[in-house]
A and B are shown apart, each in its own frame.
Chain A
Amino acid sequence: MGTVLKKAYDWIDERLNVTPLWRDMADHEVPAHVNPAIKMSAFVYCFGGLTFLVITTQILSGMFLAMYYTPDITNAWFSVRYITDEVLLGNVVRGMHFWGASLVIVMMFLHMLRVFFTGAYKAPRELNWVVGVLIFFVVLAFGFTGYLLPWDQKAYWATAVGSQIAGSIPWIGPYIQTLLVGSHTVGALTLTRFFAIHVFFLPAALLVLLALHFIMIRAQHIAGPL
């Protein structure tokens, strides 16, 4: 078995030269000051990785929820009730997605505080800080759009008020409101566009930003010890 796998790997490697791609990542040295196994207080350096871990579970639980969720105003609430009450482990998957949304915010906030207080955003890492702040905004947008999807009372009225607040912005407010809501009041168009934003637009943006975030860390390395 092992030799078969090795032969398959070598066959691919001969043609595509994949070894340097992953060896570069595998072999890069992780400095001691970020390693909690060496210094316990270095656990603060885990916040970023843990944020990514929760984002991964969000993507996975979201994919499973999408198998049952129906983004139209007649069925949305019933489909969420079906997930919660009928689907095998549906309440657990929905619970992961629900609590995970809050956990991403908390972990990301802690990660941001760590980066700020260790001054890791200073030159030459300014751009990665900016990308991180953009990720923060994208995650908030995930929260705002995802909140409407269960189509229950608190979802509906939170979005109704949120869009009214957006509409109260001078000059461009009404345009933002129409863009968000799709019409003059929260309804069928709002739900479909929030769904599309939540499962297509924002994930695309998030994956691009995360890729940039990680590529920049690899290019610039983790900031040195204080």
Chain B
Amino acid sequence: MAGGERIPGTPRYRHHLETNPGTEPFFPNFLLKEWIVGSVFLLAFMLWVVFNPVDLGDRANPDDTSFIPVPDWYFLFLYQILKYYPGSDIVVGTVLVPMVASLLLVFAPWLDTSKARHPFQRPLATSAMMLTTLLTIWLTNEAAVQHKAELDAASGKASAGLPVLPKIPASQIHLVNTNMPGYKLFEQTCANCHGKSGEGGLGPPIYAIGKYWNASQLKSFVNNPSGMMPKNGTLSSDTEVQQVVDWLSQQKG
């Protein structure tokens, strides 16, 4: 223990004359200071609460499957990890990563067994924790950004001017002329946001966009897209864009 016990019988007002002047009794001396910190903290908290009223969303409706679900912000990093392990790899995101992380956290004292306590004297533990913290913050932010993009896409904001197609399951979509070169390019680039079958994901659904727009309308949109979509949809040349829109314009649902 840092500091010794208070010598019995020493009055509190003479306490600072003792050999160990840095220490002080928990009650009332130290607790008073903690209360000051606590009061300032509580005041700030109450001001925040009063100026940020909580609203209540629409009543739960189990039939409305169009609602885009999202967990509370402190679960977003876990939610984001799931997105990196789609399909049968999902078990990596649901079990493996959380399990390993939890075990590392619980057993940290037995993994970092050196006597040294200063963070600079145990660089492995310190950098591991800093990396984990940064990664968690980044994952949380990434999930929030993607959720916002999804909301925008659903409300039509990201696709200003783009015809809105209803969201349907990928299994009900039948793409045609998949032997065209445009389809290969679509799979490699566009599909990352619009889905493998154009069913929509981060970007809006475009599986039957040819019903509404011809190749030149599509090309002018891809050259100068609105919302989140990158210019030319990350395709490297105008020839590639032309190939993709030629194929897309034949998708009429």
Seen from chain A, the residues whose Cβ lies within 8 Å of a Cβ on chain B are 22, 25-33, 35-38, 43, 46, 49-50, 53-54, 57, 73, 77, 80-81, 84, 91-92, 94-96, 98-103, 105, 113, 116-123, 125-126, 129-130, 133, 136-137, 140, 143-144, 147, 150-158, 160-162, 165-166, 168-170, 185-187, 221-226
Q: Given A81-B56, A95-B53, A151-B59, is A26 in contact with B25 using a C-beta cutoff of 8 Å?
A: yes
Q: Is there contact, CB below 8 Å, between B22 and A143?
A: no
Q: Is there contact, CB below 8 Å, between B25 and A80?
A: no
Neighbour of A50 across the interface among B1, B28, B38, CB < 8 A: B38
Q: Is there contact, CB below 8 Å, between A118 and B56?
A: no
Q: Is there contact, CB below 8 Å, between B24 and A122?
A: no
A33 → chain B closest CB, angstroms: 7
A136 → chain B closest CB, angstroms: 8
- Interface flags, B94-127, vs A, CB<8A=1, else 0: 1100000010011011101101111100100110
Neighbour of B45 across the interface among A103, A133, A161, CB < 8 A: A103
Q: Is there contact, CB below 8 Å, between B26 and A27?
A: yes
Q: For chain A, what secondary structure do more than half of its interface residues adopt (helix, strand, loop), or is it mixed?
A: helix
Q: Is there contact, CB below 8 Å, between B106 and A28?
A: no
Q: Is there contact, CB below 8 Å, between B59 and A77?
A: yes
Q: At the interface, yes or no: B17 with Cβ under 8 Å from chain A?
A: no
- Distance, CA A35 to CA B3, complexed state (A): 13
Neighbour of B74 across the interface among A143, A150, A160, CB < 8 A: A143
Q: Given A30-B25, A152-B58, is A102 in contact with B38 using a C-beta cutoff of 8 Å?
A: no
Q: Is there contact, CB below 8 Å, between B117 and A122?
A: yes
Q: Who on chain B is nearest to A167 by CB?
A: B94
Contacts of B50 in A (CB 8 A): 92, 95
Contacts of A160 in B (CB 8 A): 62, 69
Sample (23) of A-B pairs whose CB atoms are under 8 Å apart: A28-B25, A28-B26, A29-B4, A29-B26, A30-B24, A30-B25, A30-B29, A50-B37, A81-B56, A84-B55, A92-B49, A92-B50, A94-B54, A96-B49, A102-B73, A123-B109, A133-B102, A157-B69, A162-B75, A165-B82, A169-B95, A221-B1, A225-B2
Contacts of A91 in B (CB 8 A): 53-54
- Distance, CA A30 to CA B24, complexed state (A): 5
Neighbour of A29 across the interface among B23, B48, B59, B108, CB < 8 A: B23
Q: At the interface, yes or no: B180 with Cβ under 8 Å from chain A?
A: no
Q: Who on chain B is nearest to A80 by CB?
A: B56
Instruction: Count contacts on B: residues with CB < 8 A to the other chain.
Output: 71
Q: Is there contact, CB below 8 Å, between B91 and A170?
A: yes
- Distance, CA A208 to CA B106, complexed state (A): 18
Q: Is there contact, CB below 8 Å, between A57 and B24?
A: no
Contacts of B129 in A (CB 8 A): 113, 116-117
Contacts of B67 in A (CB 8 A): 153-154, 156-157
- Interface flags, B126-145, vs A, CB<8A=1, else 0: 10010001000000000000
- Distance, CA A38 to CA B16, complexed state (A): 13
Q: At the interface, yes or no: B42 with Cβ under 8 Å from chain A?
A: yes
Q: At the interface, yes or no: B90 with Cβ under 8 Å from chain A?
A: yes
Q: Is there contact, CB below 8 Å, between A25 and B26?
A: yes
- Distance, CA A102 to CA B48, complexed state (A): 12
- Distance, CA A35 to CA B31, complexed state (A): 10
For the complex with contacts A28-B26, A30-B30, A168-B94, 14 further pairs of A-B residues with Cβ separation under 8 Å are: A27-B25, A35-B24, A46-B34, A50-B38, A50-B41, A123-B109, A140-B74, A150-B57, A152-B59, A153-B64, A168-B90, A170-B95, A185-B62, A222-B2
Q: At the interface, yes or no: B52 with Cβ under 8 Å from chain A?
A: yes
Report B1-17 residues with CB < 8 Å from chain A CB: 1-6
Q: Given A27-B26, A36-B37, A57-B42, is A129 in contact with B108 using a C-beta cutoff of 8 Å?
A: yes
Q: Is there contact, CB below 8 Å, between A99 and B70?
A: no
B37, B82, B133 — most chain A CB neighbours (10 Å)? B37
Q: Is there contact, CB below 8 Å, between A26 and B26?
A: yes
Q: At the interface, yes or no: B33 with Cβ under 8 Å from chain A?
A: yes
- Interface flags, B203-238, vs A, CB<8A=1, else 0: 000000000000000000000000000000000000
Q: Who on chain B is nearest to A128 by CB?
A: B109
